[in-house]
Amino acid sequence: MKYRLSTFLLGIAFIGFSQNPMEKRVNNFTTVKVFDLIHISLVKSDENKVIISGQDADDVEVLSKNGTLKVRMKFERSFDGTKTFVAVHYKNIEVIDGNEGSKIFSNELIEQDKIELRAQEGAVLKVGLDVKELIVRAVSGGIIIPKGKAETQDITINTGGVFEGRDFDTKETYVKVTAAGEAEIKASDLADVKITAGGDVYIYGKPKKLNKKQTFGGRIEIRDGL
């Protein structure tokens, strides 16, 4: 279940060393959507901009509209962003959305009241958080790996999505898993778990209360806290 991020993080480290990075100013946004296997580093800043580097930097499209920033490859280079690295500088972020095998990494702790993380189509998100509420959606092979803490988290996992949250402290966690998804959760007060049509949930943190419901298979295991 563990996703090995060494190659991904090594690639992110090269952003600062790439030759001739391209800088683009963008309109205000609160949602980031990434596509086409592109590697993204999120940077808290006092301005909104993106810095693009890598072998195919000229083929990256950056669109900012209606509060959403989209980073993707040009049509003729679709699904060909593995050698492309983008640093997204943001003033405020509410939704991080990875698609089509993209890799998204936060290089510092995101501290705010609420945030939503989405991963689908094999995308990977690895972020550090200190929030009151975390909302998670991982589907079709998307992987989400948070570090830090939240008071509550609400997780939805479908069709092979993965949530690796054993190192993410919460008081209350609500998780719904459908069709072979997997989740590791950590809660101190309440874990509310529902599984439909298969899937696995591993519970850490020794929650005081556990609610569980399984329909058509699935597995719920209580494991020792860290």
Which tens digits make up the pLDDT trace of 68-94? Answer: 999 998 856 655 557 789 999 999 999
User: What is the C-alpha to C-alpha distance for residues 39 and 98, in angstroms, rounded to an integer?
Assistant: 10
Q: Are 56 and 80 in contact (CB under 8 A)?
A: yes
Q: pLDDT tens for residues 137-191?
A: 999 999 999 999 999 999 999 999 999 999 999 999 999 999 989 999 999 999 9
pLDDT at 211 over 90: yes
Q: What is the DSSP string of 53-117?
A: EETTGGGEEEEEETTEEEEEE-GGGTT--TTEEEEEEES--SEEEE-TT-EEEESS-EEEEEEEE
pLDDT at 76: 65
Give the model confidence (pLDDT) of 19-46 as tens digits. Answer: 578 999 999 999 999 999 999 999 999 9
d(CA 178, CA 1) in angstroms, rounded, equals 17
Going from the N-terminus, what domains does the chain have, and what CATH number goes with each?
A: 1-95 (2.160.20.120), 109-213 (no CATH)
Contact of 43 with 162, CB cutoff 8 Å: no
Asked if residue 201 has pLDDT above 80, the reply is: yes
- Look at residue 173 in the predicted model and tell me its pLDDT: 99
Say how far apart CA 161 and CA 123 lie, in whole Å.
10
Return the amino acid letter for 103: K
pLDDT band at 57 (very low <50, low <70, confident <90, very high): confident
Name residues whose C-beta falls within 8 Å of residue 21's C-beta, 6 or more positions apart in sequence.
Answer: 15, 51, 52, 53, 57
